[in-house]
Structure 1
Amino acid sequence: MIKKVFKFGGASVKDAEAVRNMTKILREEDIKDTILVISAMGKTTNAIEKALEKFRNADGHLGVDAISEITSYHETIMTDLFEGNNEHPVFDTVTNLMLELYLKLQDTGYDYDYQYDQTVCYGELISTAIISAYLNDQGMTNKLLDARSYIITDHRFRAANPDWDECRIRIEKLNEEHDGTLYITQGFIGASEKPYTTVTLGREGSDFSAAIFANLLDAESLTIWKDVDGIRNADPKRFPITQKIPHLSYSEAIELSFYGASVIHPKTIKPLQNKNIPLYVRCFLNSSLEPTTIDGSKDYINYVASYIVKDRQTLVSISSNDFSFMNENNLAFLFRTLDEFDIHSNLIQTSALALTICYDKDDRKLSKLTAALSSIFKVRYNNDLQLFTIRHYKEGLEKDFVGNRKILLEQRNRLSLQLVLEAEKTL
C-alpha cells in the first residue's frame, strides 16, 4: 500500500543543489511506501509559454533561442548532478524530449489552448526523467510513472477535469502492484481519451494532481514541500510582517485558496477532505520546522487576518444595450458563456442592470467574450488591476496597503473584504 504522497514544486528542484537537497530530505524521511509528484524545474513552464508565444507570433528564430535556453538550463543541471558524465542515458532521454517539444512548438496550426497543453507538459516530463535517473544513481531505486496513464480527464484544455471513475480504476492498480518501490510521477498533466490527448489541470495544478493520487490511493497523508515554513497570513515578499498559521481546517483552507493564497491550488482540498487525509505544508529549506497542518478539525475562532493579493486582474462589466434588468435568464446566459470560454471568476457582483466579474487576465479569452456578447450587451473592461482580499477582516486593516489608489469595486461579507484596485505604481 502507498501510504504517503510527497509533492515537490518547481522551486524545490530548480537546480542541482535543490535536487540534492530534495534527495537529502527523502533519505531523512520514511519513503518506503511513497509516491513523489514533481513539477517542472524552476520557471520552465514560464519559459515554454514564452517560446510558444514566439512561434505562434511567427518569431521562429526567437522561439529557437528560447528552446536553446531551456535546453541549456536542463543540461547544466544534469552535468552537475551526473558529474560531467554526458554519456549517462538520461542525456539522450532529455534530448529526445526536447526534440519532441521543438516539433510541437512549430506546429502552430492548432487552437492555442490545445497547443499549450501539448507543449508545456514537457517541463514535467523532463524534470521527472532527470530526477528519477539521479535518484536511481543515488541508490534510491524508483519507478517513473507517466501521469497521463493515470490522471484521465475530459477534453477541456488548460483546465481539465478528472474522470474520477477512470482515474480510480487505474490508480488503485498501483496499490495492487506496489512492492515498496518509490514511485515518481508528474504533476499538472493528464490525458483525455477518444482520442488520446495530453491535457493540463490548470496553472499550478501539481497540488491537485497530488491530491487526486492521495484520494484514490487512500493515502495516510499528503505533504507539499515549499520554500516557506508553512502557510503564512500574507506573502512575505509583499508584507514586511507576517505570521505563520500552524493549523487550518479544510473549509478555511478552501476559502484562502479560492481567494488566491498562492501556497495551495484551489482544487487541492476537496479530494483530501472527502477521505479525511491531512495535508502538511513543509519547508524544504529546513525540514525540521513544524509544518502547517490542514485537516478536518473544527475552525478556530481566533484566526488572524490573512492578506491575499492577485495581480494581473481584468474587471469586466456587462450590461444590456436596452436597459433590461439583469434577471435570471440574462445571468444564466452570461454564466454559460463564461463557462464556455473557461473564464473563472475571482469575484462576482450583480446590480439591477449589470454583471461585473473579476478574473485572471487573459487577452484571448477577453477577445472571445467581447465578440460573443457585443451584439446583445455592452461590455466594458479594465486590465492589469489588483484584487486585494482580507480574510477575517477588521475595520481599517486595508488602509496601509490601499493608500491613495483608486478602488474600482468593493465587496464585503461577515468575514472578508475584497477590493479591486488600480495596480501599484512602479518607478
Structure 2
Amino acid sequence: MRVLKFGGTSVANADNIKKVINILEQYSQDKTVVVISALGGVTDLLIKTGTLAANKDEAYKEVLSELEKRHLDTVKALLPVTQQSSCLSKVKQQFNELDEICEGVYRLNELSPRTRDRIISFGELLSSQIVADYYAATNQPCEWLDVRKLIRTNNNFGFAAVDFDVTNQLIADKVNASTTKLFAAPGFVAANADGHTTTLGRGGSDYTAAIFAGALQAEALEIWTDVNGMMTADPRWVPNAKNIAEISYQEAMELSHFGAKVIYPPTIQPVMARQIPVWVKNTFAPQEYGTLIRNTPSVEGEFIRGISSMNNIALLSLEGSGMIGIPGFSKRLFEALAKEEINVILITQSSSEHAICVAINLADVEKAVKAVDLAFEPEIKAGKVDALKVERNLSIIALVGDQMKSHPGISGKMFGVLGRNGINVRAIAQGSSERNISAVISFNDAKKAVTVLHEAFFEFEYKNLNVAITGVGNVGGKLLDQLAQQQAYLQQHLKLKVKVVALANSRKMLLKEEGIALDNWKQELDNSADMQLDEFVAGVVARNLPNTVFVDVTANADVAQIYGKLLSKSISVVACNKIACSSPYNYYQQLKSLAAAYNALFLFETNVGAGLPVIGTLNDLLRSGDRINRMQAVLSGTLNFVFNNYDGTRPFAEVVRQAQAEGYTEPDPRLDLGGTDVMRKIMILAREAGEQLEMDDISNTQFLPASCFDGSVEDFYQEMGKQEAHFQKLYKEAADKGCKLKFVATFENGKASVGLQHIPPASDFYHLYGKDNIVLFYTQRYPEQPLVVKGAGAGADVTASGVFADIIRTARV
C-alpha cells in the first residue's frame, strides 16, 4: 500500500494531470491512494469568491463563472468526447451548489467560518472527481473517496483537529473492504461529527495524505510537488540552494514549521508515529531523487540540514519590575493568548524575569494586544507591568540540524555571520533538543540573512561579494578590467565570486542586482539613468545584498561624505579617494568608529603609495606592538617622475604635461606640485599611527611660485613656462652639490612637514626612479635601519590593483 499526494501545480491543467497519470502507472500492481489538491490557484479564487459575496460585490459571479469554465475546459481537454458527459454533469452540479451557497452569503452579507470551509472545499472535491473519472474513461477502475465520511474532526473550522481514533478506523474499514486497487481522494477536506464540512488548514492536502498513510500503515507516503524535494534554503532567495537527499522526521518538522513550504507542518506526525518513510518528489522531473524523510543516521560533517524563514511575524514583549520573582506571569500571558486561539511561534525570557517575549503571526496582533492588556490591567494601572510592546514586520530565521548539539560554535558562527552583515537580532531561541537555533530579525533583512547563512554553512564552493563602484575613469576602468580578468582565478583559488552590482560616473548610474556584464559595462552604463549620488547610494543600501562593498575611485568630496551612511548599514567602503581620510580628524575618526560599530571595513590602502602596502605595513607594525618614532617618505609618484625627468634640457612645464598625459597626476596637477597631495598622505599615515593631525598642522615649503596657483589649469601651464628660470635654478643648485631634487614628507615627534630637498647619493631617496614612492619607518624595533616600503607609487594599473586588493580583503573576514 502506498499513498501519493499531488499538489495544485501538478494538477493545474489537463497536460499536468496526464503527467500524474503517467507517474501512477508504475504503481498499477499495488493498492494505492491518490490524494489530489485543487487545480493550481483555485483555492485562492474560491476564497475571493466568498469574500466578494460577503461584501455584497456581485463580481463574485464573474469569478465563479471563470472557475466553472476552467474546470469544464479541463474535463474536455482530458476525457474523450464520448465519455465527457457524466463528468461534465458532475462539475455543473457542483457549481450549481456552490452558486447557491455564495448567493446565500451575498444575501446575508456574512461569511461564517463554517460557510467559508464549505466554499473552499469545492476545489479538491472537483479536481479529485475529475481525476477519478479520467481513470474510469481509460477503463482503469478507480474509486472516489468522499473524505467527509472518513476524516472526522472537531468544529474548529479553517484549521480542524483530527480525531485519529475514529478516523483511522473509518479509513481502514473503507479501503481494506474494497477490491479496487486505486482510490482518488480530495485533500484538505474533512467533516465534523455532525457531517459539516471542515478543512485542515492551507496546505492540508499533505496532511490528508499522511492521515491516510498512517491509518493504512502504508509502505510509503509520496508528496509530489513542483520542486525536486526539500532544499537547504528557499531557492527563490538562494539560487545555490541544494537538494536535501535525506532528512529526519524531526528536522523536516522544524524546517516546515519555520517556513519551508514544500511540506505542510502537521504532515509529519501521523507517519512518524508509524515510521512510514516520506518521499518528496517533482511531478515535472520524476527521475530526480527528491528528498527521503525518515529516521536517518547522521552523516559526518552534515550537522546543519537547512535554513528556513517565517515572515509576517510580530514580537510581543511583556516587561515590568513587578514581574520579578512573582510566579504565574507566563501562565497568564499564554492563557490570554490561548483564549483568542493565537499560536505562539517562539518564546524567549530574560534571566532576570523582567521581560518575556513571544513571536506570533502579524495578523493576530490586534486581538493579542487587547487580550494581554486586559489580562494584566491591574498590574498595568499599578505601574508594575508596562503595556504590551509590539514590534511588527519581523521574520524568524531558523538553522536546523539534528547534529547541532554535538558541534560547538554553531551559534557563534551564525550570529557572527549576521553581525558582519549588519543584521540586528531582536530575539533568540534554541530548543531543548538543540535541533534548531531561531532568531527574530527585521523582515527587510530576511533574504539577506538566509543568503549569508547559507553561504557560511553550505556553500563551500565560493563566497559571493557584491561590489558597487563609483568612478569608472582611468583607474576605475583598469579596476573593472582586472576584475573581469581575474574572475576565474578568484573562484578557483580563493573560492570567491565577485559580482559588480552597481556602477556610476559623474554622468550616469547603473544598478543591477543580478550583476553587470564586465565585457559590456561601458555600453550598459551609457544607456542607464542620469547620475544622482543620493539615489545611487540609496539604491545600493535598499538592495540590502550580502557581503556588499562600496568602492570610491573618484576624487569627489560629495562621494567622500556618504561613507558614514554606507558603513552604518554594514556596507564596507574601499576608498581610493583621499578626501575622507584627509578631512577634519573628527570625520576620519567617525568613519573608523562606524566601521567598528557596524562590523564593516573601511579600507584606503591606495590613499598612500597607490598599490604599495604602506598603510597595511604601518598597521601590522602597530598591531604587533611596535611604536613609530619617525616616518620619512617620497609620496608623490608625480613629483618623483617630474624631478627624475627634469634636467634643464627641456621646459619644466613640458615634463609636467608628460606626467599628466601618462596618468600620474591629479586632474589639477597643482594638487601634486603644490604639495597638497603629499600633505594629505603624510597626515593619513600620522593619523594611522595614532596622531590627531590636521592639514593646518603640517608645514609645507613650496617650490612653485605663487603666481602658478592663479587661474585655470591651462593658465598654470602657461605661468610655469614663464617661470622656467626659477625651475632651472632649483635644478642647478642641487646638481652643483651632486644631489637630486626630491619632495620629501617627514613625521616625527608629532609634527609633520613636506618640502623640496637636496638628496645626496648616500640617501635611500637618491636611487628612486620613474614614478616610484618610498616610505621609511623608523620604529622601536627598527630604530636606525628603517623598514622600507618602495615601489611604483602612481599609475592607473598599480592603483587599480591596490583597490582590487582592498576589495578582496573585505571578503576574507
**So what's the TM-score if we normalise by structure 2?**
0.48
The structure 2 residue matched to 1:26, chosen from 17, 24, 32, is 24
1:317 Cα deviation (Å)?
Answer: 3.0
CA distance in 1, matches of 2:246, 2:196: 39
Say whether 1:342 aligns with 2:376.
Answer: no
1:290 Cα deviation (Å)?
Answer: 1.6
- Name the residue aligned to 1:17: 15
1:327 Cα deviation (Å)?
Answer: 5.4
Tell me whether 348-357 or 82-91 shows the greater mean CA deviation.
Answer: 82-91
Matches within 5 A, 1:292-331: 292-301=291-300, 302-319=302-319, 323-325=322-324, 328-331=327-330
Tell me whether 404-413 or 30-39 shows the greater mean CA deviation.
Answer: 404-413
- Name the residue aligned to 1:186: 186
Q: Amino acid of the residue matched to residue 240 of structure 1?
A: P
> Counterpart of 1:290 in 2: which secondary structure?
coil
CA distance in 1, matches of 2:170, 2:420: 49
CA distance in 1, matches of 2:354, 2:104: 44
Select the structure that is richer in helix.
Answer: 2
**Identity across the alignment (%):** 26
- Name the residue aligned to 2:142: 142
1:337 Cα deviation (Å)?
Answer: 3.3
Label 1:277 to 1:87 Cα distance change in 2 as closer, same or farther (>3 A). closer
CA distance in 1, matches of 2:46, 2:268: 28
CA distance in 2, matches of 1:171, 1:327: 50
Contact 2:129 2:184 in 1 (8 A): no
Structure 1 residue runs without a partner (length 5+): none
Tell me whether 322-331 or 177-186 shows the greater mean CA deviation.
Answer: 322-331
CA distance in 2, matches of 1:327, 1:13: 56
The structure 2 residue matched to 1:381, chosen from 390, 403, 408, is 390
CA distance in 2, matches of 1:148, 1:256: 30
- Name the residue aligned to 2:211: 212
1:218 Cα deviation (Å)?
Answer: 1.4
Contact 1:38 1:185 in 2 (8 A): yes
CA distance in 2, matches of 1:357, 1:105: 38
Q: Amino acid of the residue matched to residue 240 of structure 2?
A: I
Structure 2 residue runs without a partner (length 5+): 377-386, 402-409, 446-541, 544-813
Select the structure that is richer in strand.
Answer: 1
> Counterpart of 2:328 in 1: which secondary structure?
helix
- Name the residue aligned to 2:122: 122
- Name the residue aligned to 2:791: none
CA distance in 2, matches of 1:133, 1:401: 57
Q: Amino acid of the residue matched to residue 409 of structure 1?
A: A
- Name the residue aligned to 2:61: 64
CA distance in 2, matches of 1:103, 1:243: 48
- Name the residue aligned to 2:96: 99
1:111 Cα deviation (Å)?
Answer: 6.3
> Counterpart of 1:356 in 2: which secondary structure?
strand
- Name the residue aligned to 1:82: 79
Contact 1:252 1:299 in 2 (8 A): no
Larger Rg: 2
Q: Which has the higher contact order (CA 8 A, sep 6+)?
A: 1
1:82 Cα deviation (Å)?
Answer: 3.0
Label 1:40 to 1:341 Cα distance change in 2 as closer, same or farther (>3 A). farther
Contact 1:10 1:42 in 2 (8 A): yes
> Counterpart of 2:335 in 1: which secondary structure?
helix
> Counterpart of 2:238 in 1: which secondary structure?
coil
- Name the residue aligned to 2:684: none
Contact 2:160 2:199 in 1 (8 A): yes
1:40 Cα deviation (Å)?
Answer: 0.9
Matches within 5 A, 1:226-237: 226-237=225-236
> Counterpart of 1:49 in 2: which secondary structure?
helix
Label 1:418 to 1:123 Cα distance change in 2 as closer, same or farther (>3 A). same
Q: Amino acid of the residue matched to residue 7 of structure 1?
A: K
- Name the residue aligned to 1:259: 258
Matches within 5 A, 1:42-61: 42-56=40-54, 58-61=55-58
Q: How many residues align?
A: 420
> Counterpart of 2:266 in 1: which secondary structure?
coil
CA distance in 2, matches of 1:402, 1:113: 46
Contact 1:318 1:356 in 2 (8 A): yes
CA distance in 2, matches of 1:258, 1:205: 14
CA distance in 2, matches of 1:8, 1:68: 25
CA distance in 2, matches of 1:361, 1:122: 29
**So what's the TM-score if we normalise by structure 1?**
0.88
CA distance in 2, matches of 1:92, 1:402: 63
Deviations 1:244-287 (A, max 9, x none): 11111222222222222212221112211221111111121121
Contact 2:255 2:307 in 1 (8 A): no
Deviations 1:353-391 (A, max 9, x none): 4443223333xx444333333333433334443222222
- Name the residue aligned to 1:411: 429
Contact 2:142 2:180 in 1 (8 A): no
Label 1:86 to 1:272 Cα distance change in 2 as closer, same or farther (>3 A). closer
1:325 Cα deviation (Å)?
Answer: 4.7
Label 1:96 to 1:273 Cα distance change in 2 as closer, same or farther (>3 A). same
Label 1:182 to 1:367 Cα distance change in 2 as closer, same or farther (>3 A). same
Q: Amino acid of the residue matched to residue 398 of structure 2?
A: T
Contact 2:342 2:368 in 1 (8 A): no
> Counterpart of 2:388 in 1: which secondary structure?
strand
CA distance in 1, matches of 2:327, 2:259: 28
- Name the residue aligned to 1:424: 444
Q: Amino acid of the residue matched to residue 57 of structure 2?
A: G
Give me the CA root mean square deviation: 2.8
CA distance in 2, matches of 1:10, 1:175: 24
CA distance in 2, matches of 1:111, 1:339: 24
Contact 2:101 2:119 in 1 (8 A): yes
Label 1:271 to 1:163 Cα distance change in 2 as closer, same or farther (>3 A). same
CA distance in 2, matches of 1:89, 1:305: 49
Q: Amino acid of the residue matched to residue 164 of structure 1?
A: F
- Name the residue aligned to 1:358: 359
Deviations 1:92-134 (A, max 9, x none): 2112222322333344456643232121111111111111112
- Name the residue aligned to 1:154: 154
> Counterpart of 2:45 in 1: which secondary structure?
helix
Contact 1:79 1:85 in 2 (8 A): no
Q: Amino acid of the residue matched to residue 359 of structure 1?
A: I
1:396 Cα deviation (Å)?
Answer: 4.7
- Name the residue aligned to 2:400: 391
Tell me whether 303-312 or 11-20 shows the greater mean CA deviation.
Answer: 303-312
- Name the residue aligned to 2:598: none
Label 1:62 to 1:175 Cα distance change in 2 as closer, same or farther (>3 A). closer
> Counterpart of 2:202 in 1: which secondary structure?
coil
CA distance in 1, matches of 2:79, 2:325: 63
- Name the residue aligned to 2:239: 240
Deviations 1:220-250 (A, max 9, x none): 1111112112211112111111111111122
Contact 2:337 2:372 in 1 (8 A): no
1:412 Cα deviation (Å)?
Answer: 4.4
